[in-house]
Amino acid sequence: MRGWYTLVMAKLTNTQKDKLIAAAQNAIHFTVVGTGEFPTDMLRYDICWPASEFNSRLFNQADTRRIELKGLKVPTTGRWASFGWKVVEASA
């Protein structure tokens, strides 16, 4: 079975691929701080992803942690707060 990236990219036109790559290169960087279960649904909701492999490994830890993310839109601070997480930094 092919990886999700290969599968998604195979279904996009060249124009869509170019737009996706450009958007990712101009991503908004932000940091969230929280404890307990990481709200993975927020990745979908805010169209974001871990800034590095190191940050993705922090998802499953139980203590308070600071996770750097990249996204295609400004993070929804109120929704993060509803999960007990706080957006502490955001930059374009």
CA angle (26, 24, 51) in 5-degree steps: 95
Write down the pLDDT at residue 4: 59
Domain boundaries, the chain: 28-91
What does CATH list as the number for 28-91? 3.30.70
**Helix, strand or coil for residue 46?**
coil
d(CA 52, CA 8): 20
How far is Cα of residue 51 from the mean position of the Cα atoms in its chain? Answer: 7
How far is it, in rounded angstroms, from Cα 51 to Cα 54? 8
Q: Let me know how long the chain is.
A: 92
Whole-model pTM: value is 0.75
Planar angle of CA 59, 65, 56, nearest 5 degrees? 30
pLDDT in tens, 28-87: 999 999 999 999 999 999 999 999 999 999 999 989 999 999 998 899 999 999 999 999
